[in-house]
Amino acid sequence: MLKPKALKSGDKIGITATSGPAPTENIKLAKVWLEGLGFKVELAPSCFASYGYLAGKDELRADNLNSMFADKTIDGIICLRGGYGATRILDMVNFDTIRANPKIFVGYSDITALHIAINQICKLVTFHGPTASPNIAGGLDDFSKREFLRAIMDIEPMKNIPTPRDTKIQTLVKGKACGIIVGGNLSLISATMGTQYEIDTKGKILFLEEIGEEPYRIDRMLTQLALAGKFDDAEGIILGDWNDCESKIYDNSLSLMEVFGDIVVPFGKPTIFDLKAGHCKPEVTLPFGVKAVLDADEGRLIIEGSATA
């Protein structure tokens, strides 16, 4: 895998919108917060564009992303926010440009579609971490800030991924697994199935997270992955944060844990639950495409490979 150059104080970070729009105030706050850390910040035109539920037309969002990777003065890229829209620009992304200009790329949620495509087509390490809005604009808590900066600024392997105080990772299936981490938001992984951007989990550790979905919908998407062989292929499974995924429709709904027990656990792959990555606060930043060890016996995730150069 290609490794981006670690960021340092004085480097320029570009913020670009690949998906939905964000309030102008949030854009300003994110810029100020990053500048307070010593970074220079450049805002893409798409940050201030709006086209319904999208941050401007597809062509603008794709062009801004391509331009920021091509721009030699920009050292890292943080996505403005998730929402929806990344899948609409996948066929417009210049993967040759990205491969020729490897740099830090950060985002989560809808950005999952871009993580998968960039990881698999460009063989570039990317980072599942905070977006400019609402995360950075709101000011990252101390834990999230430390883990974010550790991921994008340290050259050494991240090693143990910690859990915030008062939280504990649960073991659903014991065992140990080794492989690079791939994945992201379950809805986006499901949405790209059957396309050229479908996730490859062969020999990898699959990370999944979600927000605001009914258990029966999670059941449906996990079943899709199961039928497609994604759990069979994976070496291990990380179930991250599942914010607001309790049923509001069915009084007799299966619980989230029952869904996991029915669909994921039977594959017998080392599996942990409640790693704080996803739509949560505090949150860890995970490098995708880096060798890791999942020790489900101890409820630990250890990043063995360096994510940056």
Check if 209 is active-site: yes
Tell the burial category of 142 from Cβ atoms under 10 Å away from its Cβ (0-12, 13-18, 19+): exposed
CB 290 within 8 A of CB 281: no
Question: 221 in helix, strand or coil?
Answer: helix
Check if 156 is active-site: no
Tell the burial category of 36 from Cβ atoms under 10 Å away from its Cβ (0-12, 13-18, 19+): exposed
Can you read off the two tokens belonging to residue 195?
């396309």
Q: Which of 183, 190, 165 is nearest to 128 (CA)?
A: 183
With both helix axes pointing from N to C terminus, report the angle between 215-227 and 256-263 in degrees, rounded to the nearest 10.
Answer: 10
Catalytic residue, chosen from 144, 213, 279, 283, is: 279
Q: Which of 206, 169, 171 is nearest to 185 (CA)?
A: 206
What pairing do the DSSP bridges indicate for beta strands 104-107 and 76-79? parallel
CB 188 within 8 A of CB 221: no
Question: 108 in helix, strand or coil?
Answer: coil
Check if 115 is active-site: no
Catalytic residue, chosen from 147, 209, 210, 235, is: 209
Contacts of 300 (CB under 8 A, 6+ apart): 160, 161, 169, 294
Return d(Cα 71, Cα 97) in angstroms, integer: 10
CB 73 within 8 A of CB 97: no
Return d(Cα 247, Cα 254) in angstroms, integer: 8
Catalytic residue, chosen from 109, 133, 144, 187, is: 109
Residue 33 CA, distance from chain mean position: 21
Q: Which residues are tagged catalytic?
A: 109, 209, 279
